[in-house]
Chains A and B, each alone.
Chain A
């Protein structure tokens, strides 16, 4: 911390957070879990939409995982500079990341291998599923800090 704890004159615009970046750990955990579940999601999409569905699911998973990594990288990078900058970066990062996801889908919407249904459902299911899985782990870590919960 650049400011002393308990000091009433702490200014978020100049306060910065040093040390480990927990969001990087969380996003790497999510990435690892995403790699674990990728064969299942791709397999399910392959069953319902064939090869196009499998490739679209892979593409959707890549979008979601890169989105998590970008969000975490942005928070970790800006938190080392200032909390105020972190807040701005999260808000503008939200817009930028939504724009990038939009661009990533628009660019491939007419491709021969795309299945928009598989892509859309993969994005939602992977995003929410991985988050719930990670939240379970984080909740256990926060409730019992001394214990290492089983992943």
Chain B
């Protein structure tokens, strides 16, 4: 935080501008962190689904349906992070 204040002072930002820039930067960082978890989750989910489909191809339809819903539910976490980002950071 101290480093950021020094950078903001060097850039000639006022207090409010520095605060807004700090909020935007933090929100963007938080969005990046929020996207990591769903990325890991989707990777694990799809990896296991592919394994299941390769092992038991006759159940592929059922696995694909539940996999698609799982992907969408996991992605909702990233979307929540994104919405928090646009509400705080933009």
Q: Enumerate chain A interface residues (CB-CB to B < 8 A).
A: 1, 3, 5, 10-12, 15, 17, 19-23, 26-27, 68, 71-72, 75, 79, 83-84, 86-87, 90-91, 94-95, 97-98, 101-102, 105-106, 109, 116-117, 119-121, 123-124, 127-128, 131, 134-135, 138, 142
The reply to whether B79 and A123 form a contact with Cβ atoms under 8 Å apart is yes
- For this complex, into which size category does the number of interface residues on chain B fall? 35 or more
25 A-B pairs (CB sep. < 8 Å)? A10-B55, A11-B54, A12-B53, A15-B54, A19-B61, A71-B68, A75-B64, A75-B67, A83-B54, A86-B50, A87-B47, A90-B71, A91-B39, A94-B42, A95-B39, A102-B82, A106-B90, A120-B83, A124-B79, A124-B80, A127-B75, A131-B69, A131-B76, A134-B69, A138-B65
The reply to whether B62 and A120 form a contact with Cβ atoms under 8 Å apart is no
Given A91-B46, A142-B65, A71:B56 Cβ within 8 A: no
Q: Which residue on A lies nearest to B80, using beta carbons?
A: A124
Q: Which residue on B lies nearest to A11, using beta carbons?
A: B54
Chain B residues lying within 8 Å of A121, measured Cβ to Cβ, are: 83
Chain A residues lying within 8 Å of B79, measured Cβ to Cβ, are: 101, 123-124, 127
Chain B residues lying within 8 Å of A98, measured Cβ to Cβ, are: 35, 78, 82
Max count, chain A CB within 10 A of own CB: residue among B39, B61, B72, B87: B72
The reply to whether A135 and B69 form a contact with Cβ atoms under 8 Å apart is yes
The reply to whether A71 and B72 form a contact with Cβ atoms under 8 Å apart is yes
Could you tell me which residues of chain B, from 36 to 90, have a CB within 8 Å of some CB in chain A? 38-39, 42-43, 46-47, 50-51, 53-58, 60-62, 64-69, 71-73, 75-76, 78-80, 82-84, 86-87, 90
Cα-based distance from A27 to B56 in the complex (angstroms): 24
The reply to whether A75 and B68 form a contact with Cβ atoms under 8 Å apart is yes
Chain B residues lying within 8 Å of A79, measured Cβ to Cβ, are: 64
The secondary-structure label for the interface of chain A is: helix
Q: Enumerate chain B interface residues (CB-CB to A < 8 A).
A: 35, 38-39, 42-43, 46-47, 50-51, 53-58, 60-62, 64-69, 71-73, 75-76, 78-80, 82-84, 86-87, 90
Chain A residues lying within 8 Å of B68, measured Cβ to Cβ, are: 22-23, 26-27, 71-72, 75
> Nearest Cβ distance between residue B35 and chain A, in whole angstroms?
6
Given A71-B71, A71-B72, A91-B43, A138:B50 Cβ within 8 A: no
